A and B are shown apart, each in its own frame.
Chain A
Amino acid sequence: MENSCLLSWIIFTPLLFAFLVMILPKSMEHLFRKIALVQTLVSALIATYLYSRFDGGVAGAQLTHLVPWLPEWGINYLVSIDGISLPLVMLTAFVGPVAILGTWPDLSHGAQLKKEKFFVMCIMALQTGMYGTFLSADLFLFYFFWEVVLIPMFFMIGIWGGKDRIYATVKFFLYTMVGSLLMLVAIFWLIKTSAEGNGTPSAAYETLSGLSFAFDGSSFGAALTSPQSLLFLAFALAFVIKVPMVPFHTWLPDAHVQAPTVGSVFLAAVLLKMGTYGLMRIAIPFFPQAAHYFSSVFIALGVIGIIYGAFCALAQTDFKKLVAYSSVSHMGYIVVGLFSFQKIAIAGSLYQMINHGISAGGLFMVVGFLYERLHTRNLEDFGGLAKVVPLMAIGFMIMTLSSVALPGSNGFVGEFPILLGAFQVHPFFVLFAGTGVILGAVYALKAYQMVMLGPKTRTDLEHLHDLNCREIIAMGVLTVFVFGIGFFPKTFFWKSDAALDVYSNTLIQKVGTYATK
Chain B
Amino acid sequence: MLLNEVFPLNPLSGVELLSLTPLFILAVGAILSLIVGTHKEKGHTFAFGVAFVSLVSCLFVYASTATISDISILGETLIFNPFTKTIAAMATGFALIAVVLTYGQDKKEGLLSEIYALIQFSTAGMILMMSTQHLLFLFIALEIMSLAIYIMVAMRRSSRFSAEAGLKYFILGGLASAFLLYGSSLIFGATGSFQLGTINTFLLAHNEPSFIFYVGLGMVLVAMLFKVGAVPFHGWVPDVYQGAATNVTGFMGAAVKFTAFMALARICQNLVFVDNIVALKWFETTIYVIAAASMIYGNFVAISQNEIKRMLSFSTIAHTGYLLLGLYAMKLGEESAQSVLLYLFFYAVANLGAFAVISQFEEKNQKDLTFDQISGMGAKHPVLGTFFTLFLLSMAGIPLTSGFIAKYGLFSSAVYAGEIPLVVIAVLTSVVSVYYYLRVIVYMFMKDTTSEAATYQGLKGAGLAAFLSAAATLQFGLFPRAIISFVKMISK
**Which residues of chain A have a CB within 8 Å of any CB of chain B?**
68-73, 115, 118, 140, 143-145, 147-148, 150-151, 154-155, 158-159, 165-166, 169-170, 173-174, 177-178, 181-182, 184-185, 188-189, 191-192
Q: Are B446 and A166 in contact (CB under 8 A)?
A: yes
Q: Are B431 and A181 in contact (CB under 8 A)?
A: yes
Q: Are A158 and B416 in contact (CB under 8 A)?
A: no
- Please tell me which one of the listed residues A150, A174, A188 contacts residue B435 in the complex, with CB atoms under 8 A apart: A174
With A147-B398, A165-B446, A173-B434 as known contacts, state yes or no: A72 contacts B393, CB within 8 Å: no
By a CB distance below 8 angstroms, the chain B residues around A68 are: 481
B427 within 8 A of A: yes
Size bracket, chain B contacts: 20 to 34
By a CB distance below 8 angstroms, the chain A residues around B382 are: 118
Q: A165, A166, A185 — which one has the most chain B CB atoms within 10 A of its CB?
A: A185
With A68-B481, A72-B484 as known contacts, state yes or no: A185 contacts B427, CB within 8 Å: yes
**Which residues of chain B have a CB within 8 Å of any CB of chain A?**
379, 382, 393, 398-400, 404, 408-409, 411-412, 415-416, 420, 423-424, 427-428, 430-431, 434-435, 438-439, 441-442, 445-447, 480-481, 484-485, 488
Q: Are B399 and A188 in contact (CB under 8 A)?
A: no
- Please tell me which one of the listed residues A71, A170, A178, A182 contacts residue B438 in the complex, with CB atoms under 8 A apart: A170
Q: Are A188 and B412 in contact (CB under 8 A)?
A: yes
- How near does chain B come to A199, taking the closest CB pair, in angstroms? 14
Can you list 28 residue pairs at the A/B interface with Cβ under 8 Å? A70-B480, A73-B409, A73-B484, A140-B408, A147-B399, A147-B404, A150-B398, A151-B393, A151-B398, A154-B441, A155-B445, A158-B445, A158-B446, A159-B445, A165-B446, A169-B446, A170-B438, A170-B439, A170-B442, A174-B435, A177-B431, A178-B431, A184-B411, A185-B427, A188-B411, A188-B423, A191-B412, A192-B416
By a CB distance below 8 angstroms, the chain A residues around B445 are: 155, 158-159
Additional pairs, 4, CB under 8 Å, beyond known A182-B424, A182-B427: A166-B442, A173-B438, A174-B438, A188-B415
By a CB distance below 8 angstroms, the chain A residues around B412 are: 73, 188, 191-192
By a CB distance below 8 angstroms, the chain B residues around A148 are: 399-400
With A72-B484, A151-B393, A181-B427 as known contacts, state yes or no: A170 contacts B435, CB within 8 Å: yes
- How near does chain B come to A136, taking the closest CB pair, in angstroms? 12
Q: Are B420 and A185 in contact (CB under 8 A)?
A: yes
Q: Bound complex: CA of A177 vs CA of B436, how far in Å?
A: 13
By a CB distance below 8 angstroms, the chain B residues around A70 are: 480-481, 484
Q: Bound complex: CA of A154 vs CA of B420, how far in Å?
A: 30
Q: Are B481 and A185 in contact (CB under 8 A)?
A: no
- How near does chain B come to A74, taking the closest CB pair, in angstroms? 10
Shortest Cβ distance from A160 into B: residue: B446
- Please tell me which one of the listed residues A69, A140, A143, A181 contacts residue B428 in the complex, with CB atoms under 8 A apart: A181
Dominant SS among interface residues on chain B: helix
Q: Bound complex: CA of A184 vs CA of B434, how far in Å?
A: 15
- How near does chain A come to B379, taking the closest CB pair, in angstroms? 7
By a CB distance below 8 angstroms, the chain B residues around A170 are: 435, 438-439, 442
By a CB distance below 8 angstroms, the chain A residues around B488 are: 72
Q: Are A69 and B446 in contact (CB under 8 A)?
A: no
By a CB distance below 8 angstroms, the chain B residues around A155 are: 445
5 A-B pairs closest in CB distance: A188-B415, A188-B412, A158-B446, A181-B427, A147-B399
Q: Are A185 and B411 in contact (CB under 8 A)?
A: yes
Q: Are A185 and B423 in contact (CB under 8 A)?
A: yes
- How near does chain B come to A379, taking the closest CB pair, in angstroms? 28
Q: Bound complex: CA of A118 vs CA of B431, how far in Å?
A: 26
- How near does chain A come to B372, taking the closest CB pair, in angstroms? 14
Q: Bound complex: CA of A143 vs CA of B407, how far in Å?
A: 13
- How near does chain B come to A278, taking the closest CB pair, in angstroms? 16
- How near does chain A come to B349, taking the closest CB pair, in angstroms? 19
Q: Bound complex: CA of A174 vs CA of B439, how far in Å?
A: 12
Q: Are B442 and A185 in contact (CB under 8 A)?
A: no
Q: Bound complex: CA of A144 vs CA of B442, how far in Å?
A: 22
Shortest Cβ distance from A69 into B: residue: B481
Q: Bound complex: CA of A71 vs CA of B479, how far in Å?
A: 12
Q: Bound complex: CA of A178 vs CA of B432, how far in Å?
A: 9
By a CB distance below 8 angstroms, the chain A residues around B438 are: 154, 170, 173-174
By a CB distance below 8 angstroms, the chain B residues around A145 are: 399
By a CB distance below 8 angstroms, the chain B residues around A115 are: 379
Q: Bound complex: CA of A372 vs CA of B411, how far in Å?
A: 47
Q: Are B408 and A184 in contact (CB under 8 A)?
A: yes
- How near does chain A come to B109, taking the closest CB pair, in angstroms? 33
By a CB distance below 8 angstroms, the chain A residues around B481 are: 68-72
With A70-B480, A151-B393 as known contacts, state yes or no: A184 contacts B427, CB within 8 Å: yes
- How near does chain A come to B431, taking the closest CB pair, in angstroms? 5
